[in-house]
Amino acid sequence: MTTWSLEYHSFEPDQEGLREALCTLGNGYFATRGAAEEAGAGDIHYPGTYLAGGYNRLATEIAGREIVNEDLVNMPNWLCLSFKPEDGDWFNLLAVDVLSYKQKLDLKNGVLERNLRIRDRDGRETTLATRRLVHMGDPHLAALSWDITPENWGGRMTVCTALDGRVINAGVARYSQLSSTHLITLAAGPAGENAIELLSETSQSRLRIAQTARTEAYQQDRRLNVDRALIVEDDYVGQTLGFDVQPGVATRIEKVVGLYTSRDNAISEPALAARQAIERYGKFAELLETHAGAWSRLWHRCDVVLEGSDRAQMILRLHIFHLLQAASLHTIDLDVGVPARGLHGEAYRGHIFWDELFIFPFINSRIPEVTRALLRYRYRRLDEARRLAAEAGFKGAMYPWQSGSDGREESQRVHLNPKSGRWIEDHSYLQRHVNAAVAYNVWRYYEVTGDREFLGFFGAEMLFEIARFWASAVTWNPQRQRYDICGVMGPDEFHDQYPWRDGPGLDNNAYTNVMVAWVLQRAIDAYRIVGTECQNELCAALSLSPAEPDTWDDISRKLFVPFHDEGIISQFEDYERLEEFDWDGYRAKYGDIHRLDRLLEAEGDTVNRYKASKQADVVMLLYLFSAHELDSLFEQLGYQLDAGWKTRTIEYYEKRTSHGSTLSRIVSSWVLARRDRRHSWALLNEALESDVADVQGGTTAEGIHLGAMAGTVDLIQRGQTGLEVHDDTLSLDVGLPEEVSSMRLRLRFRGHWLELEITHDLVRLAVPDDWAGPHKVMLDGTLYTLGAGKRLDVPRRKAQRV
């Protein structure tokens, strides 16, 4: 095994869906699943191509009512490539003997390779070596290269290359009852002598997509004169290339694809741009060189080196790789957020959730310009969030739980329980805490970059409007002399209502309330930081009265936080009235109990009755805030907590959590990093395996879990290093697991790179000549000075003795 590639050594039809998601190639502008070029969509293969922000809305009649869903559209399949010998069949892995098979995702260069040897039913043996790239330098290009060697046969060979617009969204079985035909073909035909083009449009959002493909054949590096024939069918354009082959002589087929849409910058018209794109580029090798160069620059910024565990290292790189394919430098010019399941599949329809909370820390510390662009996706939808708030009877701005093209609430109102076959009311839109997540992301971006212009032009306005929303969502409880937030859901999706109350919503979700207390204070900070001129501008534009920040301050000190069992923070008010759940009994009965909600509903019961969580909820607080921040938050709220509350709370909920969301293990591993290193490392390894090993049994094929992927990287870069900056001091609290011998990474802070190397003996920090601080470094209780252009080596044993 190498730490730079994901490899498979046999063809396993039942694993294809998973491998396709994991071998997706993309560049932030578009991505294509790692499906075999010769295969169409069916039970085994699902070749999906998704454009960042490429949504379309369709209505469906379900359970007697019309529901409307917006989906990230599966775009025409540009991969199509196959061959056949004269009198033979088109290449199909399921119809031949596979003599050898190797598939490799080369993470360093961003190339997907297959090397295989097959024997068809007439005894013809063929070797095939394929390579694929989705260009990281030019987001509108992709390319395929196939080396086909007939080992024991010769004669006429035909290759078929195509652009296939007959695709629908069929990647998630649960959605199969929903409308799924999103594309209309506008034109399909030749584009010059050796190329084809397909122009499609999404049926409702009217996004035009132009694809062109130029296919050439080479033998011994010489371009072949081939017999070409055009095939134009409904929603499909293809071309066959006929030529002679000899035993043992390879023919290289190269397909270069251009992809533009009507939303692109700096073009006249997408079809014209796509045609020019493929005319301007030469051979696959040239594209590969510039593509690999773009990846090499990205890796220089983003790699995390972990020595001691090759598997953990490989998976970490795989995670960074997919993050960079979902949000890359090309994102900067787009109006998009990061879909929870990447551009890798159709689960959650490409919607954007609070998961960005887990994703942005990695991007902040590597390419903060990308975070800025992603935050502007939210800023552009601020008006829609204002409308949502007003519609629900609140002030300010209320961001939706699920967001797509225009920022309206995209959460479904019913969802299918595959265990029972029933359509269930879905109340997840009540996860108003997403508003705290948007504010949190704005603030953390500002902290890492010091970007006051962003704060002044965009961030502060979002913070103020979110603060206003919360200020209008609280109610004063005269008995307690505290503010309540009622009728919401916390992050734990197992609980959406009280078993004893009609109607959805819970009161005083502790996570939400504490987050709100923090957010309100940050809105006040932003008010101060932007300066008088900007304050005046914003006050005028938003009709913000100087008294509002005073109200925010008051609320942020008097929000209610529920407790039970002597010092355990309750997930929500009255949580203690729920029944304990029979974890052992259900594990014995079902084995996999991640999705208890579905199992219990199918039994006619409801998980709402039990002290059982799908994912970290209260514990999220210990994940998002440093010990120092949390202590001051509770002090601000007027709660005096004893020293043991954190450990007690973690232990209490760890026992009662099914980790039914891949985000959950990230949080648990993080909060245990210093309390129980062994357990924390085990959870980190489980989190690393979430997608590679498809731990949820089938969900990865529908799209990777980007929050968990980014979370694992952040677990190394901040969780295990304990890296924090506050009061102009950079502090480290290293928790290097025994299984890892060293870690090396570079982090971007306020426009400069910080290099960090940690072994069991040494912590080494190095900063460039123009490092602007912090210059104070706190390591295991000792304060050091880190001058610009200097390197600081602290022996760990010594540090630990202090």
Residues acting as catalytic residues: 493
In the complex, least distance from residue 359 CB atom to ligand BGC, rounded to whole angstroms: 10
Binds ligand BGC (CB under 6 A): choice among 384, 493, 601, 654: 493
Instruction: State how far the Cα of 470 lies from the Cα of 687, in Å rounded to an integer.
Output: 33
User: Which region, judged by CB under 6 A, interacts with ligand BGC, from 44-52, 124-132, 351-359, 586-594?
Assistant: 351-359
* 123 SS3 class: coil
User: Which region, judged by CB under 6 A, interacts with ligand BGC, from 226-234, 348-356, 495-503, 619-627?
Assistant: 348-356
Binding mask 352-391 for ligand BGC (x = CB under 6 A): -xxx------------------------------------
**Which is nearer to ligand BGC, 359 or 758 (by Cβ)?**
359
Residue 661 binding ligand BGC, by CB under 6 A: yes
Burial tier of 645 (Cβ tally within 10 Å: 0-12, 13-18, 19+): middle
Residue 484 binding ligand BGC, by CB under 6 A: no
The token pair that represents 106 in the structure block: 């080369």
Give me the DSSP letters along 219-253. ETTEEP--EEEEEEETTEEEEEEEEEE-TT--EEE
Binds ligand BGC (CB under 6 A): choice among 199, 340, 463, 777: 340
φ, ψ for residue 170 (rounded to 5)? -130, 25
Burial tier of 243 (Cβ tally within 10 Å: 0-12, 13-18, 19+): middle
Count of residues that bind ligand BGC according to CB under 6 A: 12
Residue 491 binding ligand BGC, by CB under 6 A: yes
Task: Residue 775: count other Cβ atoms within 10 Å of its Cβ.
Answer: 16
**Which is nearer to ligand BGC, 621 or 663 (by Cβ)?**
663
User: Which region, judged by CB under 6 A, interacts with ligand BGC, from 293-301, 327-335, 349-357, 625-633?
Assistant: 349-357
Alpha helices (H) along 543-610: 547-558, 583-590, 596-602
User: Which region, judged by CB under 6 A, interacts with ligand BGC, from 244-252, 347-355, 476-484, 595-603?
Assistant: 347-355
Binding mask 559-598 for ligand BGC (x = CB under 6 A): ----------------------------------------
Instruction: State how far the Cα of 263 lies from the Cα of 209, in Å rounded to an integer.
Output: 9
**Which is nearer to ligand BGC, 157 or 430 (by Cβ)?**
430
Instruction: State how far the Cα of 333 lies from the Cα of 312, in Å rounded to an integer.
Output: 33
Residue in this structure with the two tokens 């996004």, named with its chain if needed: 207
Instruction: State how far the Cα of 364 lies from the Cα of 713, in Å rounded to an integer.
Output: 12
The token pair that represents 101 in the structure block: 């098979």
Binds ligand BGC (CB under 6 A): choice among 54, 270, 456, 707: 707
* Contact positions with ligand BGC (CB under 6 A) in 612-641: 614-615
**Which is nearer to ligand BGC, 313 or 662 (by Cβ)?**
662
The token pair that represents 761 in the structure block: 């003996």
In the complex, least distance from residue 67 CB atom to ligand BGC, rounded to whole angstroms: 19
Residue 690 binding ligand BGC, by CB under 6 A: no
Collect all residues with Cβ–Cβ distance below 8 Å to 205 and sequence separation of at least 6.
55, 56, 57, 405
Give bridge partners of residue 101 from the DSSP assignment: 116
Instruction: State how far the Cα of 781 lies from the Cα of 777, in Å rounded to an integer.
Output: 10
For the CA atoms of 520, 524, 529, 535, the dihedral, rounded to the nearest 10 degrees, stands at 120
In the complex, least distance from residue 381 CB atom to ligand BGC, rounded to whole angstroms: 18
Instruction: State how far the Cα of 688 lies from the Cα of 315, in Å rounded to an integer.
Output: 6
Q: What angle do CA 747, 753, 757 make, to 5 degrees?
A: 60
**Which is nearer to ligand BGC, 16 or 355 (by Cβ)?**
355
C-beta separation of 591 from 582 below 8 A: no
**Which is nearer to ligand BGC, 136 or 385 (by Cβ)?**
385
**Which is nearer to ligand BGC, 140 or 344 (by Cβ)?**
344
627-636 in b/e burial notation, b at 16+ Cβ within 10 A?
eeebeebbeb
**Which is nearer to ligand BGC, 482 or 598 (by Cβ)?**
598
Residue 663 binding ligand BGC, by CB under 6 A: yes
C-beta separation of 140 from 69 below 8 A: no
In the complex, least distance from residue 545 CB atom to ligand BGC, rounded to whole angstroms: 35
Instruction: State how far the Cα of 539 lies from the Cα of 31, in Å rounded to an integer.
Output: 42
User: Which region, judged by CB under 6 A, interacts with ligand BGC, from 266-274, 350-358, 386-394, 499-507?
Assistant: 350-358
User: Which region, judged by CB under 6 A, interacts with ligand BGC, from 70-78, 291-299, 346-354, 519-527?
Assistant: 346-354
In the complex, least distance from residue 384 CB atom to ligand BGC, rounded to whole angstroms: 20
**Which is nearer to ligand BGC, 328 or 699 (by Cβ)?**
699
What are the residues binding ligand BGC (CB under 6 A)? 340, 348, 353-355, 491, 493, 614-615, 661, 663, 707
